[in-house]
Structure 1
Amino acid sequence: MILETGVVVAVESDGLWVETIQKSACEVCVAEKGCGQKFLSKLAGKTVSIRVLRNKRSSEEFTVGQSVTIGIPEDIIVMASLLVYLLPIFTAIGGAWLFSDSDWQAVGGAFGGLLLGGLLVNLHSVRKRDDVRFNPVLMEEQIQPNILNFQH
């Protein structure tokens, strides 16, 4: 499980939006000096908002600005990467092969296959939107109270 700490930026009825600064990969990457990703994220303060399921906790327990720790299963990252990158490529190759009578038909078939692959990835994403196995989740023991917004 990959753990990231972030700040709640929105509370919805079915989940939270958590903003994180991507740094965990930069801390262990061997191309640290030659990459520039770490430098750009420091310079621009690049943040990412992630939709996180609440693990059957009440939305009243969370406030905007609260610090939380989220967990993302490694196998889901691998499977999602394979799905997002390989499925459109394979459908584009399949489309080009099916319409290989002429060059223009092959180009059209490849483009149509690419669009079909993107549509299939989108449909899979919509179907798995609320499935705990395919989404980042709040780590129960890691939830931290928001000290900054604490009022008496």
Structure 2
Amino acid sequence: MSIQENIRNAAQATFKNHLEFLSSGQIEKWVDLFDENGILEFPYGPADFPKLVKGKKELYEYMKNFPKHFLVSFENLHFHATESPNLVIAEFTSNGKAISTGKPYNQQYISVVTTDDRGMILKYVDFWNPMVALEAINAPLSNFVNE
């Protein structure tokens, strides 16, 4: 196996671990997948939603309550071919529910993730529909829409 293939395999394994740790509520292990200065970016977040979370402390604070709000499994994972072995482009879905409401949380994702040669996440850009999450937890959509 070439060095490039090893790097690509490490990047994809990290991504698979990311899904496993989130779905099983292992947030500390999830944070450990990131480089010390790793970035999580949300280009489509609502107005009051953070656009960027940086560093392990912020990542933990941001995600620590995820298991209290959502019970999900991630499915239909497909990796797209990339030129760089450090770049992961993945499409996948979630099948789950919001714990507080019991309402479905079924989401489609596209993720663009850059890793270092060890497979540590440097930057994770998360393309998802925040309205699905807001509807699942009965958040007032008017808080996020300009009138």
TM-score range, shorter chain: under 0.3
Structure number with the higher helix fraction is: 1
Higher CA-based Rg: 1
Q: TM-score, normalised by structure 1?
A: 0.23
